[in-house]
Amino acid sequence: ENNVRAATSDTSWGATGAELENIARATFNREEYPLVMGIVWERLSARKWRNVYKSLDLLKYLCLHGSQRCYDEAKDALPHIQALQGFRYVDSAGKDEGRNVRERAKQLAELLGDPELMEEERQKSKALKAKIGGGASAGVSSDDYRYGSGPASRSYGE
């Protein structure tokens, strides 16, 4: 539960690959699954753009790497995800932070709306995981990116 809250927090950094993998593993546990998904849906309904943005990222990760129930539940919630394509959030400096949420929602909705594309993405993810060693700590970490403004020289998703 704490991992999910941390992964979808309002901070400017994202979850590590190992944290995402641990959350995905938890979705295979009957007791942990409802806790994980409950927080994901709670955060997707938040007003703060980073909570929503990170929740969309986490939900995509869970659809690709978590239990089949994650995908099934997300697909059932497709209208909610599509509604996020209209998400609006302008910060105090006038920057439209909602555009990142809108783009992520669009990408996830396309994936959920096309079972063949979803399966293709799952297979690509499995192949990449096998290629880089399969461990949760292997590969690129989302620590390399920042969500929104911050001292990083790159922005995730841009």
Residue whose structure tokens are 């994650």: 70
Q: What CATH number does domain 2-133 carry, 3.20.20.70, 1.25.40.90, 3.40.50.20, 3.40.1190.20?
A: 1.25.40.90
What lies within 8 Å, CB to CB, of 134 at 6+ separation is none
For the chain, the domains span: 2-133
- 61 touches 19 (CB < 8 A): no
Which of 14-23, 63-72, 141-150 is predicted with the least confidence, judged by mean pLDDT?
141-150
pTM: 0.80
* Per-residue pLDDT reduced to its tens digit, 109-158: 999 999 999 999 989 988 887 888 655 443 333 333 333 433 333 333 33
DSSP-assigned states of every residue in 21-45 = HHHHHHTTSTTHHHHHHHHHHHHHT
Largest CA distance in the chain: 44
